Amino acid sequence: MFISSSATHRSIIMVKTFGLLTALLVIGLGSPLTAQQPAPPNAVADSMGQTRALLQKWSETEKMIAAERNEWEQGKALLEGRISLVQQSIEDMKKKITEAEAKLADAKKNADEVEKEKQQIREASDALLTAAPELEKGVLAVIARVPDSVREKVKPLADRIPKTEVEAKGKQAAERVQSVLGVLNELNKSNLEIASLLEIHDIGNGKKAEVKTIYVGLGQGYFVNAAGDIAGIGTPGTDGWVWKTDPSIAKKMIEVLDVMKKTISPKLVELPATLD
């Protein structure tokens, strides 16, 4: 701050603080004075009072400017902090949007794959429904040609196979095919086994007797009576098994039964077979 005096006025010219220019009004402090005419005491006192008042106003103004500058700096820092938080939130939101879009794309891809699989299942189901009647017919025909013991074993599954279109109505393709496959599985296991059973057979001359029957798989059967003098051969037919007596194999059948009972050492026994 600079204060200058002249013969005509006392003035406060300029005040510049922290890059801000504060101008104080130029205030006349008295009439022109000469060296020969000193100012009256009252005039000097008034001039000094005005100067002090101006200095006080200037000091208060500087304080106000400093307070406002401080408040502005605090406000600026607060705004910058909020802006930074908003920008961070925007970046986080963009990241989440990108992740969501990626997940949505994956979900859409998965949905397309699921729909494709559903279409394939529908097509397979339609194909099975088309093929089911022939499969069921074929399996029922096979069941009619198997030994009674095997037929009883697969009966629970065979009963689930529809015999007419009315029974087939409303059944799902999977259910129908499952029944067919279940029967075929049991038949396949029986076809790999040699079973020995007690049965009643026609032994000729209109007589029936209890005999020991051996089934080799599902395609060949033999029987022999307890006395070992009557035997026979059986093969599956359209309406059940067809049996024919053949006493010539009776002795060999006794050997087979002894081997199966492990009363003699294993040995090769030749028996006639009919291939159908």
Q: What is the tens place of the pLDDT at every residue in 24-67?
A: 444 344 444 444 455 566 777 778 888 888 888 898 899 999 98
The whole-number pLDDT of residue 196 equals 93
CB of 15 closer than 8 Å to CB of 6: no
Instruction: Give which of 163, 156, 164 is closest to 183, Cα–Cα.
Output: 156
pLDDT tops 70 at residue 23? no
Tokens of 77: 């820092």
Q: Which residues contact 140 (CB under 8 A, 6 or more apart)?
A: 158, 161, 163
Mean pLDDT in residue range 116-130: 84
Q: Decide if pLDDT at 233 tops 60.
A: yes
Domain boundaries, the chain: 193-261
Q: What's the rounded Cα separation, in Å, for the pair 238 and 146?
A: 10
The CA-atom distances, in angstroms, between 174 and each of 135, 161, 238 are 13, 12, 29
Nearest CA among 184, 189, 198 for reference residue 217: 189
Task: Look over the chain and give the mean of its residue pLDDT values, rounded to a whole number.
Answer: 82
Which amino acid makes up residue 269? V
